[in-house]
Amino acid sequence: MAEITFDDFLKVDVRVGRITRAEPYPEARKPAIKLWVDFGGALGEKRSSAQITRHYEPETLIGRQVLAVVNFPPRQIGKFVSEVLVLGLPDENGDIILIGPERDVPVGGRLH
């Protein structure tokens, strides 16, 4: 594992946002869900493509708070542009479980 400095860590901007819209993305190479996440303030709403179809249905994601890296460059995923990387952890089968706060917090808050 490569070591990083604390200054390196501070360069990664992880914020909390609220999913406002979610749609199936069957055109993706791997099954995915298109997400629209509101980070409030100057960041506003950003899009993400997430391979989370094993544990989530689009309609169950609306209103959920998630953590995302917001300072990566946009990435083209098929015909969809993913602007943020929503964070998750793999379960015992490698399927992603989303990461979010255990209680509601103000959107746009930065991970410390």
pLDDT in tens, 59-110: 999 999 999 999 999 999 989 999 999 999 999 999 999 999 999 999 999 9
Check residue 80 and give its pLDDT.
95
Q: Which secondary structure element, helix H or strand E, spans residue 85, and what is its range?
A: strand 85-86
Q: Which CATH number fits domain 15-98: 3.40.50.620, 1.10.150.530, 2.60.40.180, 2.40.50.140?
A: 2.40.50.140
What are the structural domain ranges in the chain?
15-98
Q: How many CB atoms lie within 10 A of CB 44?
A: 11
Q: How many CB atoms lie within 10 A of CB 102?
A: 6
Check residue 3 and give its pLDDT.
95
